[in-house]
Amino acid sequence: MASDAVESTYVQIKDMEVRGAGRIARAAVSALKDYCNKGRFRSTAEFYEGLFAAGDRLKSARPTAVSLPNAVNYVLVAARRNQTKGGPARDSVRAIKGVCDDFLASSLRATKTIGEYGAKRIKDGDVVLTHCNSEAVTAVLVKAHEMGKKFEVYATETRPRFQGRITASVLAKKGLDVSLIPDSAARVYMRKVDMVVVGADAIAANGAVINKIGTSQVALAAHESRARFYVAAESYKLSPSTMTGELVEIEHRSPLEVVPKAWLLANAKVKVKNPAFDVTPPEYIDLIITERGLFPPQGVILLMKELYDEPRPA
């Protein structure tokens, strides 16, 4: 039986109480660790049966954030290997807890390393625009500021959930020069922008980036203005299924995130669409910054093959 933390984490991820691909990944793995800590297992088989069920439950919370299944699969792949060894349940529990701890530590290290790599691309006097809220992007901007570089940041609001307000607030508290702008003003300010830095919820084998809705429009405006466009993302956001031709599913969320219920009732014939993500084509992307190095979008397939050279559990 899965722990209460698994179900509560599922709900928190699904309802976007936990936001950001990196945070989602760590929350899911933390829930699996909680299952290990709090479960009472009569046998090794019972432990693994519950672990795989918990993993499947967590993976179903959000369809687009590839970090979620990749993080869970990191644990489940190790579990399947360990399962073949047999032995008492307590040994399996201890082993899987170690795997969870490894992922959590590596995730935090990845964010720090991306910050260090990305900060080197920012120069004194630059104007940087970002969209949505990304730990990796925040790490890049804060690290550049800590290095003593003087630059300005524009953060879009990122409707309809306004994640950009979180970004602006965090950066301002760190001492950065930041302005919050409406999404629709991105093209107006793009003429002043030297570079755009965004995160990613998924990266496809062809280098296309799936990120918060509005990212592709920002990328188009940057391409038009010849502003550099960088993506800061941990390698576990690569989508291995796209190597075999599968598409990343784009999540559509409730219309109540866009308009209030009263408006919907008063305008029952109006369809309200609310896609949570869009796809930025690789030709609009200059570099993808990962903890394993910087890659042109056409080069991520090499990293993907290196990381996912064996089948992953469904």
248-261 exposure pattern, b = at least 16 Cβ within 10 A, e = fewer: bebbebebeeeeee
CB-based contacts of 60: which residues, under 8 Å, 6+ apart?
10
Token readout for 302 is: 């090499």
Q: Tell me 282's DSSP state.
A: G
Cis ω for the linkage preceding 281 (within 30 of 0): no
Positions marked catalytic: 132, 201
3-state DSSP percent of the chain in helix, strand and coil, to 5: 55, 15, 35
DSSP string, 14-83: HTTSS-SHHHHHHHHHHHHHHHHHH---SSHHHHHHHHHHHHHHHHTS-SS-THHHHHHHHHHHHHHHHH
Q: Tell me 132's DSSP state.
A: S
- What is the spatial distance between Cα 277 and Cα 253, in angstroms, rounded to a whole number? 10
